Amino acid sequence: MRPYDHLAGDPVLARLIGEVGEPDPFAWFSPERFGPTNFSGMVLHIVSQQISTAVAFVFFDRIKAAAGGFPTPEAILAMGAERLRECGLSGAKAAYLLDLAHRQAGGLLDLEDLAGLDDREVVKTLTEVKGVGVWTAQSFLIAQLHRPDVLPAGDQGIRRAVERAWQLEGLPSVAEVQARGLPWAPYRTYAAALLWRFFYGE
């Protein structure tokens, strides 16, 4: 069964599909932006935390220029905190990137070999990195690993979309979104794409 045929079993999602179509959850993420490795992709995910996409791209492009190409662990470590901050990053994000690079370079983490792990194991592995929370790990699962069953229930856009689509009286909790999304498995990534499209209109 096609993902959106499955989701159409939920009458509210069926209505949303009729209104906004069937977005490809993986087409939003352009590979040329993330680069050729999962490491450079994770760098962009960390840079993008709590700032607009446009600003994140500016900062990431500065890091690329300073690194002489898409960032590698060695390049990030060589840049150090001061040079990373000169690219526009906060001190906290510079520390996050240095921890990520240290773990990857030292063999404590292998971002390039996560295919054999299930979604929960990937989230557990990634959230051991300083500054990487569940939302960032879930974004990585979707953008880098193209996992089909990820619902970022803590995302404000997802929560507000659920509030609006189901005409709730208030913003649902993360647990409420998770519970509502259980029947959408194994295609919750597609449901997330649908809800984002519905809320943001993109």
* Catalytic residue IDs: 155
CA distance 181 to 153: 9
Burial of residue 21, with CB atoms counted within 10 A of its CB: 0-12 exposed, 13-18 middle, 19 or more buried: exposed
CA distance 188 to 3: 9
Question: In this structure, which long-range contacts are made by residues 168-177, counting pairs with CB atoms below 8 Å and at least 24 apart in sequence?
Answer: 177/151, 177/153
Q: Compute CA 8 distance to the chain's CA centroid, rounded to the nearest angstrom.
A: 24
